[in-house]
Structure 1
Amino acid sequence: MSTSNPSSDQAAGDWQLPWTGGCRCGQVRLRISAPPLLSMACHCTGCQTMSASAFSLSLAIPTPGFEVVSGEPVIGGLHGADSHHYFCPHCKSWMFTRAEGLDDFVNLRPSMLDRHEWVEPFIETWADEKLPWASTPAKHSFGTMPAFDAFPALVEAYAREGVRPAKR
């Protein structure tokens, strides 16, 4: 996924940055200082199981704009070579994911943000595994994961059309 984000010039105004957040118990705290590249819902059965829900939500945050400011998240979930899922060691909240070989961004669970009511998925992935009753307002739906070369256009479209937080 390309991390060039045409909206970075307006980041502070359009995106109401920086954002703060943390796990449910507050032992791990985060700071986000760059606008997201993309918002997504993943309907794969792995995300259904890990989130105990119909899908997982994520915001792809450029790595330089993502910071753990307190606490020490631990790897949990699957301990595979392709992704590392980070959790609070105390309350076990699934906080973010780092995909192996994709070091340019971090997939943040938006519910970790102090203000996350504005987040809605722009794309949904693994819709072939979607529960029959689950629906999202995503503008783009993919049966599996989109081809890697589709991401630059999706990132560009999200920079133009993605939902932003309301003014504070």
Structure 2
Amino acid sequence: MIRADIARPPVPSVPLHGGCHCGAVRYEITARPKAVNACHCDDCKRLSGATFGVYLHVPKPALAVTSGTFDTFRRTGGSGHTIPIERCTECGTRMWHLPDAAPDLVILCAGTLDDPSWAVPTSHIFTEEAAPDAVAASDALVIEAFNSTRRALWAHFDRIYSVSS
């Protein structure tokens, strides 16, 4: 994985807003994210249609869906846990994951934010599966196999972004 000095914009104030491609699904996030994480696993590559996925870890009570309906696709992750993935019923945009192993957490697809420009990953996981030209900010936590915990990703996010930002 290539390391680079990347300008890291501040985390915007809440609420954050977002939605699907067609506009049927709209949401609001009312709490600061716990992390901005990039996942380089083969599943995330396929699900995102890109070489990795970028996600916000958000406390589930902080996600308010203001419009739209969902289809739920359930897949089994490498851990053996089931991961429901919610998509807009109208356009199919993947909105977020609701991991059974973490029922109080939403793994929100950063690209669905109205302004995702600030969402520079503070952590990268499954980098042993990363594309050869994958780039991580020089201050990002980089983990080859996800043999850590979400709390480690959250702690690193907190180290990069002070609570006051």
How does 1:66-145 map onto structure 2 within 5 Å?
66-76=63-73, 78-80=74-76, 82-137=82-137, 139-145=140-146
Matched, 1:26 2:26: no
Cα distance in 2 between the residues matched to 1:136 and 1:55: 12
Report deviation, 1:75: 1.1
- TM-score with structure 1 length normalisation? 0.81
Moved more, 153-162 or 61-70: 153-162
Cα distance in 1 between the residues matched to 2:43 and 2:153: 23
SS of the residue 1:114 aligns to: coil
Could you say which residue in structure 1 is the equivalent of 2:55? 58
Cα distance in 2 between the residues matched to 1:46 and 1:133: 18
Report deviation, 1:20: 1.1
Q: Which amino acid aligns with 1:84?
A: P
Report deviation, 1:163: 9.1
Q: Which amino acid aligns with 1:20?
A: H
Cα distance in 2 between the residues matched to 1:155 and 1:58: 12
Could you say which residue in structure 1 is the equivalent of 2:4? none
Could you say which residue in structure 1 is the equivalent of 2:8? none
- TM-score with structure 2 length normalisation? 0.82
Q: Does the 8 Å CA contact 1:58/1:108 hold for their aligned counterparts?
A: yes
SS of the residue 1:106 aligns to: strand
Q: Does the 8 Å CA contact 1:120/1:163 hold for their aligned counterparts?
A: no
Cα distance in 1 between the residues matched to 2:152 and 2:55: 18
Cα distance in 1 between the residues matched to 2:14 and 2:126: 30
Report deviation, 1:16: 1.1
Q: Does the 8 Å CA contact 2:85/2:97 hold for their aligned counterparts?
A: yes
Q: Deviations over 1:65-113 (max 9, x none)?
A: 112111112113x534510111111111111001112012100011111
Q: Deviations over 1:96-133 (max 9, x none)?
A: 00111201210001111111111110100000111112
Q: Percent identity?
A: 27
Could you say which residue in structure 2 is the equivalent of 1:147? 148
Matched, 1:41 2:42: no
Q: Does the 8 Å CA contact 1:39/1:58 hold for their aligned counterparts?
A: yes
Could you say which residue in structure 2 is the equivalent of 1:159? 158
